[in-house]
Amino acid sequence: MSVMTLVIGTLVSAGGNSCSAADEYDYDLVHSSVGFKARHLGISWIHGRFNDVSGNFSLDREDPSKSTFELTIKADSVDTANKARDEHLRQPDYFDTKQFPLITFKSTSTKAIKGGYEVTGDFTMHGKTNKVTLVLMGGKEHDFKKVKRVAFSTELSLKRSDYGFDPKAIRPTGIGDEALIFIDCEGVRE
């Protein structure tokens, strides 16, 4: 919701392989997803995803604090499997994709924790930037046809009101303020 690619690289070091220089990875759109869900009328969930995501990261396995990560999501790629709702979500009272076409994450710090990593960075959506911290779990490295792959999963809770969404679009009788973001991601390098 980079956030995503940052996590990929960090978890590569959980694979136990060591290297003396940073490794460069690209976000693998085919084997990754950025999804979300938000409450509807306080009784059910609306699920969706973003179909156009890109990113890259530099992973220093010996010193994760030197790793850098960036992720970019095209906001107009929002997909809830309902064309009319998707078009409404692109309008000014929600994502306002004409004025704010990108959702981005850029890391500022990474530290190892038990079972994964804690990654903090600047998350920008709807023209407003806030610090967010991701707890990255999983991470497994795989070498397939001379391409190195790593994977991770994380969840993040965001409040739309923290990003300047139209207050009239956030109400108990419509779509709730909180959105849960789910990231399942692979990073690749030759």
Residue 130 and residue 165: Cα distance in Å, rounded?
A: 14
DSSP sequence for 55-119: EEEEE-SS-GGG-EEEEEEEGGGEE-S-HHHHHHHTSTTTT-TTT--EEEEEEEEEEEETTEEEE
Which domains are seen in the chain, by residue range? 3-189 (2.40.128.110)
Gap between the Cα atoms of 9 and 189, Å rounded = 11
Q: Is the pTM of this model over 0.85?
A: no
Q: What is the pLDDT of residue 50?
A: 97
Residue among 186, 189, 90 nearest 145 (CA): 189
Cβ distance 156 to 1 under 8 Å? yes
With 0-12 / 13-18 / 19 or more C-beta atoms within 10 angstroms meaning exposed / middle / buried, residue 190 is exposed
Where residue 164 falls (left for φ over 0; alpha for ψ -120 to 50; beta otherwise) is left
What pLDDT tens digit does each residue of the chain (190 aa) get? 444 434 444 333 334 444 447 888 888 899 899 999 998 888 899 999 999 999 888 777 788 888 778 889 999 999 999 999 999 999 988 899 999 999 999 999 988 778 777 899 999 999 999 999 988 776 667 888 888 887 778 899 999 889 988 777 666 557 788 999 998 888 888 7
User: What does the pLDDT read at residue 125?
Assistant: 95
Tokens of 119: 């990654």
Residue 23's closest CA among 33, 11, 40?
11
Using an 8 Å Cβ cutoff, are 7 and 117 in contact? Answer: yes
Scored b (16 or more CB within 10 A) or e, 142-168 reads: eeeeeebbbbbebebebebeebebeee
The structure tokens listed for 85 are 């709702």
pLDDT score for 113: 79
